[in-house]
Structure 1
Amino acid sequence: MKREAYEEALTERQHRLVLLQRAYARQKRSAALVLEGWDASGKGGIIRRVAWAMDPRALRVWSIGPPSAAEQRELWMQRFWRRVPRRGEFVIFDRSWYGRVLVERVEKLTDEAAWRRGYEEINRFERMLVDEGVRLVKLFLDITKETQFERFRDRYREPAKRWKLTEQDLRNRARWDEYVTAYRDMRKHCSPPEAPWVAIDANDKRTARIAAFDAILEGFGRGIDVEPPEAPPLVQAFFDGR
């Protein structure tokens, strides 16, 4: 996608997202964006462009890593309940509760019975969020193994970005086929009508960002009136009389 067309398309979608966030704030609605995908698939780039357009007072971004020592003593889902959006708030999850059936499964950090049980536990969790009025959009960023290698190589060659490449990234890459299976099962077992996965071809970053914005605007904007309301009668009378 050429830069000029990309910038124009991105700006137009960011403007629509601003209007949507304002409508959510007025109407006391809440929304959660879940991003999963391969290492170097572009999650951070999408988050930056979404967050840049939004009012930070009503936006939270949670980067989900391994549970802390305190969280390891809790029920595994407990730390995510503390991060669900409040009324009028947008929340972005950079990785999420799906770690239960992804990294914990592949790395054998939990036993098979637990991660298999995780599919239904996740479905119940998401169903409860939706029933409580939380709009949920889940994006899976998919890239090829070749694209990932090229992006890893670019990070290694660029000193300012080298810190983003870790030994863990390489270990995960060595288990590519296992993650393919885990991602496939995740999308198979946890994509109900009320909270479906949307797959984004992220091999081209610009195209992927526009596709992600389209999915976000569609999922969060369906049935939402973004037109600003009329001023209250007393406010109108005060200014109309001046």
Structure 2
Amino acid sequence: MKKVNLSDRILKLEEVNVFPAVERNVYKAEMKKLKTRINRATLYAKYLGRPIVFVFEGWDAAGKGGAIRRLTQEIDPRLYEVHNIAAPDPQEKVRHYLWRFWNRIPNKGYVGIFDRSWYGRVLVERVEGFCSEEEWSRSYEEIVLFEEQLANFGTIIIKFWLHITSEEQLARFEARKNDPLRRWKLTDEDWRNREKWGEYVEAANEMFLRTDTPFAPWKIVPARDKYFARIDILSKVVDTLERELAIPKKFR
């Protein structure tokens, strides 16, 4: 397993610069360059039999869905599955919280994309009181061991947190509220979560501290500008896959 230098990365939300932006013409040019590389990298992973897991976490309205759509446009549709993770159903509630994720881990050579993930245990379940402090406190070690088992199996794990400011989130909520075509995206729960912004920042920072590992490092993406965020995500995907798969340059 290749080591990743974690020491020079910012993993505290208060220290993230959320203002990087790119012009539309730059965005289109960069995306065009990345498309072929992502397609080839995922096909090469299929050839080698390496599973890939993408985890998308972040604030409500930060652009996770849009980023996932841009990513999947470049992957053979036969190779990936997107898992939109909501509250556990009755069958899942009576089992260990990781059970429903084990059942969604991709086979060798395939891609699993998680829109929300097992990190809900130490985020929403922690903040909203859906589990006890003892339960979420021990979950950090459980999650690290879970991801380590996947990595030892050959799985490439790429974890993203899409970060925006509270003010930017409010502006996007208001835009959704006033748009009949997007109003359905906004729920009462979204508004309630805003009231606990500080608690979620605290939970996220501890999550980064406790679960950022060489085999599954976190990548915080400034997402105020959606063009910048999408380029940043796809670039990190390409760089990680080409490094982990040791793709020969002639195939890039």
**TM-score with structure 1 setting the length:** 0.92
Residue of structure 2 in register with 1:235 after alignment: none
Distance of 1:63 and 1:223 partners within structure 2 = 26
Cα shift at 1:223: 4.2
Q: Check 1:113–1:223 CA distance in 2 against 1; reply closer, same or farther (3 A cut).
A: closer
Q: What is the letter of the counterpart of residue 179 of structure 1?
A: Y
Higher mean Cα deviation, 1-10 or 87-96? Answer: 1-10
Higher mean Cα deviation, 8-17 or 163-172? Answer: 8-17
* Equivalent of residue 161 in structure 2, options 123, 129, 140: 140
Identical positions, percent: 41
Residue of structure 1 in register with 2:17 after alignment: none
Distance of 1:103 and 1:20 partners within structure 2 = 33
* Equivalent of residue 87 in structure 1, options 108, 132, 136: 108
Residue of structure 2 in register with 1:54 after alignment: 75
Q: Does 1:97 align with 2:118?
A: yes
Corresponding residue SS for 2:90: coil
Cα shift at 1:127: 0.5
Q: Does 1:126 align with 2:135?
A: no
* Equivalent of residue 52 in structure 2, options 24, 27, 31: 31
Query: What aligned pairs does 1:150-169 form with structure 2 within 5 A after superposition?
Result: 150-169=171-190
Q: Which string of whole-angstrom CA distances, capped at 9 and with x for unpartnered residues, describes residues 18-54 of structure 1?
A: 0111111111111001011000111001000011111
Larger RCO (CA within 8 A; separation ≥ 6)? 2
Q: Check 1:119–1:152 CA distance in 2 against 1; reply closer, same or farther (3 A cut).
A: same
Residue of structure 1 in register with 2:64 after alignment: 43
Corresponding residue SS for 2:78: helix
> 8 Å contact 1:137–1:220 — kept in the other structure?
no
* Equivalent of residue 170 in structure 1, options 183, 186, 191: 191
Runs of 4+ in 1 over 4 A off after TM superposition: none
Larger Rg: 1 or 2? 1
Corresponding residue SS for 1:65: coil
**TM-score with structure 2 setting the length:** 0.88
Cα shift at 1:8: 1.2
Q: Is there any run of 5+ residues in structure 2 with no aligned partner, and where?
A: 1-21
> 8 Å contact 1:127–1:194 — kept in the other structure?
yes
Distance of 2:106 and 2:244 partners within structure 1 = 20
Q: Does 1:199 align with 2:185?
A: no
Distance of 1:219 and 1:178 partners within structure 2 = 31
* Equivalent of residue 111 in structure 1, options 125, 132, 136: 132
Residue of structure 2 in register with 1:2 after alignment: 23
Distance of 2:75 and 2:214 partners within structure 1 = 28
Q: Which string of whole-angstrom CA distances, capped at 9 and with x for unpartnered residues, describes residues 113-140 of structure 1?
A: 0000000000000000001100000011
Q: What is the letter of the counterpart of residue 215 of structure 2?
A: E
Distance of 1:221 and 1:30 partners within structure 2 = 14
Q: Does 1:214 align with 2:214?
A: no
Cα shift at 1:84: 0.7
Q: Which string of whole-angstrom CA distances, capped at 9 and with x for unpartnered residues, describes residues 46-75 of structure 1?
A: 000011111111101001111111111111
Q: What is the count of residue pairs matched by the alignment? A: 228
Corresponding residue SS for 1:53: coil
Q: What is the letter of the counterpart of residue 154 of structure 1?
A: A
